[in-house]
Amino acid sequence: MSIEEPKKRGRKKTKNLYFGPEQEEAVVNFLTSESLTERNKIYNDYLKSPINKMVESIIRRYKLYRKDYEYEDVHSDTLSFLITKVHKFDSNFNKRAYSYFGTICKNYLLGQLIKDEKKTKSDVCYDDVFKTVEAMDNYIYTIDDDEKTPLDVFIVEISDSIKLDLSTKNLSDIEHKVGTAIVTILDDWENIFEKVQSGNKYNKNLILSYVRDISDLSTKDIRIGMRRFKKIYNLLKGEKIDRGLL
């Protein structure tokens, strides 16, 4: 009697059935062609449908829907932005156009969601807020935006994007505790790192210690919960580097 080998556990990988070698070659031909007629033909015959499918897949898979926007508008807007970036693909440095295009779409959608969230918060009635703050002299001060460094802006954007992610319902209890701890640290990072001898210099062990104290989780659980937010960090960091802001 034969003994069956145990099945390997893990997430089943889904095959990309719409953007393969033929489309990768079409992207190169599209970018190297100097004929507008030929470029239009290549796009319509080989790329239009696969790229539309790719954008659709990214929006639905990662649930990157925008509040108050129809799905068709989100898709069209993302596709339009992608088209403006296609010419930057270089097959000599970027192995696959599919990965490059997908990264652009995800970064753009995430950035738009962050902007939407900020706009929602800023739409609070100004008069009500002003009347409350006006009577509190100790809360009246001037902020010079010019003094904000790229790092300051980057930290705020990371915090905002994690807060947005925390508002979803598909996080585990560990992920929610870790995310909340990270936001607490990011929102008060200047005061936190000012208290330590190393000053504002980041230290992984120090951050891990703070997360552990705030979340009351083990180091192992923290590393598991951190994976989700590393993806957000890498997306934002990649966008900043592409734009020359970091």
pLDDT tens-place string over residues 102-160: 989 998 898 888 888 777 766 554 455 445 444 444 444 444 444 567 777 778 888 88
Section 87-104 average pLDDT: 85
| pLDDT above 70: residue 94 | no
- Taking the whole predicted model, whether its pTM rises above 0.75 is answered as no
- pLDDT for 28 equals 94
Mean pLDDT across the chain: 77
Q: What is the pLDDT of residue 142?
A: 45
Q: Is the pLDDT of residue 1 over 60?
A: no
pLDDT score at 57: 92
State the SS3 of the chain.
CCCCCCCCCCCCCCCCCCCCHHHHHHHHHHHHCCCHHHHHHHHHHHHHHHHHHHHHHHHHHCCCCCCCCCHHHHHHHHHHHHHHHHHHCCCCCCCCHHHHHHHHHHHHHHHHHHHHHHHHHHCCCHHHHHHHHHCCHHHCCCCCHHHCCHHHHHHHHHHHHHHHHHCCCCCCHHHHHHHHHHHHHHHCHHHHHHCCCCCCCCCHHHHHHHHHHHHCCCHHHHHHHHHHHHHHHHHHHHHHHHCCCC
Q: From CA 195, how far away is CA 191, in angstroms rounded?
A: 7
Which is higher by pLDDT, 229 or 201? 229
Residue 23 or residue 236, greater confidence: 23
Predicted confidence at residue 134, as pLDDT, reads 47
The domains of the chain are located at 21-121, 144-242
Using an 8 Å Cβ cutoff, are 85 and 242 in contact? Answer: no
Tokens of 33: 């062609």
Indicate if the pLDDT at residue 188 is higher than 80. Answer: no
pLDDT of residue 119: 75
Quick: pLDDT tens for 20-76: 999 999 999 999 999 989 999 999 999 999 999 999 999 999 888 988 889 999 999
- Res. 191 pLDDT band, cuts 50 70 90: low
